[in-house]
Amino acid sequence: MGQENSVRVKKGIERAPHRSLLYANGFSDWEIERPWIGVVNAYSAIVPGHNHLGTLAQAVKSGVYAAGGLPIEFPTIGVCDGIAMNHRGMKFSLPSRELVKDTIEVMTEAHGFDALVMVTNCDKIIPGMAMSALSLNIPTIILSGGPMLPGNYRGKRSDLSNIFEGVGKYIAGDMNEEDMAELERSVCPTCGSCAGMFTANTMNCVMEALGLALPGNGTIPAVYSERVRLAKDAGRAIMLLVEKNIRPRDIVTREAVNNALAVDVAMGGSTNTCLHIPAIAHHAGFDLPLSHIDEISRRTPHLCSMSPGGEHYIVDLHHAGGIPALMSRLAERNLISMTPITATGQSVGENLRGVRVSDETVIRTLDAPVHSEGGLAVLSGNIAPGGCVVKQSAVRPEMMKHEGPARVFDGEEEAFRAISDRKIKPGDVLVIINEGPRGGPGMREMLLPTAALAGLGLDSTVALITDGRFSGASRGASIGHVSPEAASGGPIGLVKEGDIIEIDIAGRSIQLKVSESEMASRALENRPSLKPTGSSFLDRYRKFVSSGADGAVFKEL
């Protein structure tokens, strides 16, 4: 059953040398005869979301083996965005997504795997795996390592965003070194992806809503034994997908993507969704413009008040019923489709039978949402004709509309230095250029500047816009993905110190209040330049990467 790939490696007299090498691995004839299931393990000792994945990969293999397959484990890479944040290392984070995709394709095609279970947890690895699943289009299930539990700092629950914001409080003199030392030891108490609705947890929940992962994938905590049981179930479930020949492109349809987007904006997910879901759709064979994401966000209420903008953590969402409960709530008003097939081998509707919300303080009713619109908003205007993105669910009400003078910085370091030196004043609009996919290169997440502003109490009076992007842990009027980017001649590169910028998030507008003739004159004088990268890998990435508005995928050759 379902062995067309491995057959070309193991069958026939001409494959005798190949079988010799398989015997060297300790495989018996009857094992070699089974379907070959690649178990992609993104384990790493440096990434807290990944340092327990060996246990889960072993559980997956147990499930595969029990169900009649031959599990064959191999690795891929993974960057911890928190550790890579705010220095040169972050330039490599988004580009690593394409490397994850490529390494899996290389291993799978070279060795003839019949199906895959991908064991992952963190930001870029998840979408990179989904992109490879759709490119290869063999039966695949994605399994996350699960979220971290929240910490406890002096009687209050906490997560990684608190320590980043602590830097701002330290600058303001509201925390001392002893406070910071206590906080930094408390916010990350277990393994797993950081406890709030940041990018990793957003994408793990999205994989579940998309149908590429089993129910529970997004929310079962990393340290719960239930997570190990889910891993065993994933090993068994992949054999069902092999038997039924259910492939990623059968699962990831336009309807399924709409479901994933509805879930994302209902739970207040990361703006990085606007990079990764379009990239996944691209590999599924269709386009997903930013305008479509905004359309879904406008019609879908925000139902979960999650950190960093709210009070709840992923473990709370799990105890409230998880993603199935949230989907069942959205289904009450036909905000999701029940027909797409999923990794269980059943449809969304079949998966949701009997599911209910168990805590309506965490998953609100449709009549009493956190906000009437979903968590993401796509703005456009003369500074961002290709669009830009903000996590409106994490913006203070008073900052939904803002007008102020531009403070222009070439790169994150310049901006953070100005924040640290207390040179940013209430009302300012920070403009950070040359941090886009090409200009950065690598479109760095910029959590430290946004967190420092929040820690200084400036998130209620200061906006920040950039052709780069923000962490899922960012909050405030942090507007990223401005397209076209400055390095490609985008008008964000024409902004001058003191120019007035007008932001209207509800109206989906962002305008530089400069005349068209002045903009045209500046454009004639503008000569975008690319900073040296010091890396042949980043040089190659810069050459092939597309706009952030297109998911920062590689251009077709």
Q: Using an 8 Å Cβ cutoff, are 56 and 121 in contact?
A: no
Q: Using an 8 Å Cβ cutoff, are 317 and 306 in contact?
A: yes
The tokens describing 80, both together, are: 């911890």
C-alpha count within 13 angstroms, C-beta hemisphere, residue 314: 31
String of DSSP letters for 377-412:
EEEEETTEEEEEEEEGGGS-GGGSEEEEEEEEEESH
Q: Is 471 an annotated catalytic residue? A: yes
**CA nearest neighbour of 110 among 9, 180, 251:** 9
Which listed residue (6, 297, 393, 471) is catalytic? Answer: 471
In angstroms, the CA 307 to CA 395 distance is 12
Q: Using an 8 Å Cβ cutoff, are 301 and 366 in contact?
A: yes
Residue 174: count of CB within 10 angstroms of its CB = 13
In angstroms, the CA 107 to CA 38 distance is 9
In angstroms, the CA 105 to CA 182 distance is 44
Segments in 47-176 forming alpha helices (H) = 53-66, 81-84, 93-111, 125-136, 160-172
Residue 156: beta bridge partners? 153
In angstroms, the CA 381 to CA 492 distance is 11
10 Å CB burial of residue 509 (0-12, 13-18, 19+) is middle
Backbone angles phi, psi at 494, to 5 degrees: -100, -5
Q: Cα 508 to the chain's mean position, in Å?
A: 23
Q: What is the largest CA-CA distance in the chain?
A: 76
**Residues belonging to the active site:** 471
